[in-house]
Amino acid sequence: MARPLSLTEPASPASRASASPSRAVPFNCLIFDFDGTLVHSEHAYAEAFSHSIRLHTGLELDRSELRGFWNVPPRDVLRRYSEPMIEEMIATFEDHYYANHHNNLACYEGIPELLQSLTDLGVLLGLVSMKPRRAGELELDITGLRPLLTSVVWGDDIPRPKPEPDGVLKAMDELGADRAATLVIGDSVADLRMGRAAGTRTAAALWGGSSREDLLSERPDVAVESPHELLWVVGCQ
């Protein structure tokens, strides 16, 4: 299992893979992405996309074609298949998603335990997601994560989406966090760019379904293979 590097300076993907472990800079604030980082929701999105596209275009998509679409706004996904019917497709997608997402949603292994451990240690915890508040608030309750997150920022709450820094800046303001002691963790290129734009350090969550190569090419300050490794990153192990 790969160990995080010292965060005194960024490292190349190649050196990150081969360097020996060293003491990490401690952080007192962690801000997480939701889909693909805290919660495995790929199946929920894929089911809703497949249903909408099949209903309105007759196309039967291979599941591999939909892989990774939870990091893309639904409108941008669906317009690839029928721009003239985009509004109908969005409505169908949302109806199916909200009716079924509770059946296709689960925390990644170790996430609840990680957040509880960080909370017990006094680490400030926030969430920044482009998911609409309507869905996000329901899913915090479905997954049981609500009590473990002090600041929650949804796509409706900010004027500009990822990779702009607005979400992280809002979360840090609500938490009273210092950007120098804040780490942004996500499974997408947009998450890493958002954190960097906000002046924080960044961590690539390699346990999600996004491309490992794409994430490492963004030169995150640290890359972690599992949620538990974040305890080492913040200097707690």
The reply to whether 6 falls in a domain is no
Q: Report the range of poorest mean pLDDT among 5-9, 80-84, 122-126.
A: 5-9
Residues 130-140 have pLDDT tens digits of 998 989 999 99
Task: Report the distance separating Cα 214 and Cα 196, nearest Å.
Answer: 16
pLDDT at 209: 77
pLDDT at 25: 52
Domain's final residue, options 57, 85, 103: 103
Contact 230, 1 (CB under 8 A): no
Percentage of the chain modeled with pLDDT above 90 = 70
Q: What is the DSSP letter of 200?
A: -
pTM as predicted: 0.84
The reply to whether 4 falls in a domain is no
- ∠ CA 118-225-130, rounded to 5°: 70
Q: Which amino acid is at 157?
A: D
CA distances from 193 to 18, 32, 163 (A): 24, 13, 5
142 has a pLDDT exceeding 90: yes
Task: Report the distance separating Cα 35 and Cα 23, nearest Å.
Answer: 29
147: domain CATH number? 3.40.50.1000
Residue ranges making up the domain that contains 165: 26-40+107-233
31 and 68 part of one domain = no
